[in-house]
Amino acid sequence: MSAIISTSILTADTLQNSPVDIWNHAKITRLRQLEQADLGHDLQDRWVHIREDTTAYTSLTGLSVVGLQADSVANFSVVYEYMYADCKAQIRGSGDEVKAYLDRQIPRSGLNGSLILPSGWPYKLSELSIQLNRDTDTIDRLFNVSYLNPIFGQLYYQSSFFLVSPQNLSTTWATTGYLFYGTRDGYNERTMFLYKCALHDMEIEANTICSSAACRTSRLRRPLNPKLKQVYPPTDTQGYNVNGEGRPGL
């Protein structure tokens, strides 16, 4: 599994806009209109054909297909699930303006208990999480989280931050949680942008056409009969069998 992830990341610069991954597996396209429909803006479950110039994909890895015969042609549909973040700009302003906005948006007991996640995603992240005292700390404290890169031995400071709601076991994250992302203006470091993000779980049906070993995704739609949510272990790399057995791989 780690080899798959590492290889995908190393080839991201050259293959992130490719319809197939490094193993020639067809990638699933992200279609904005389907995601909007899933949020309740459209109730029609119709096929949407994929344009050749589409460059947004759900993952760096494609759909692993097993069971194809040599020199054969297969046309099948598979249900595919992925998660994406929808971030909307909330405010562009000074540190005081951003802090005042957070004061209005987050309950008083929430911000003091919020986790500040450094944008570098360092090792031992839990040891680096800090709390912001909304009465005495300025917004600059969110950018002053530093960490030592264990590989190069260098100290880094953040140009952005994440604010994540504390875990509450009595309620669900989807109804009570929040995720804010803040970053400095590239031209004026005293000006900041603040985004509020929501995580969505998207289920689609992908029509896939294979000719010999080459496959491509031709069209997508929301499933007519959505399945119950299932969680597969991260080590599960079983491919999708064209005979209807198995499930989508990574």
- Both 125 and 205 in a single domain? no
204 and 186 in one domain?
no
Looking at the fold, whether 59 and 143 belong to one and the same domain comes out as: no
Domain count of the chain?
2
Domain co-membership, 114 together with 147: yes
pLDDT value, residue 65: 77
- Specify whether 185 is located in the same domain as 167: yes
- C-alpha torsion sign, points 30, 38, 229, 83: positive
Give the per-residue pLDDT at 186. Answer: 64
Q: Are residues 147 and 109 in the same domain?
A: yes
Per-residue pLDDT of 129-158, as tens digits, reads 556 666 777 777 777 655 555 566 655 556
First CA to last CA distance, the chain: 9
CA-closest candidate to residue 115, choices 107, 124, 126, 104: 126
Is the domain of 121 the same as that of 163? Answer: yes
For residue 102, is it within any domain?
Answer: yes
What's the alpha-carbon Rg for the chain, to the nearest Å? 22
Say whether both 181 and 105 belong to one domain: yes
pLDDT (tens digit per residue) in 82-136: 887 788 899 999 888 988 888 787 765 555 556 656 554 444 444 445 566 667 7
pLDDT digits (tens, 9 = 90+) for 48-88: 888 776 667 777 777 777 777 777 788 888 888 888 778 88
State whether 25 and 73 are in the same domain: yes
pLDDT, one tens digit per residue, over 215-250 is 888 888 887 776 654 433 333 344 444 444 444 333
- Residue 48 is predicted with a pLDDT of 81
On whether both 35 and 57 belong to a single domain, the answer is yes
Contacts with 151 (C-beta within 8 Å, 6 or more apart), sequence order: none
The residue range of the domain holding 181 is 95-190
Tell me what the mean pLDDT of segment 173-194 comes to.
Answer: 72
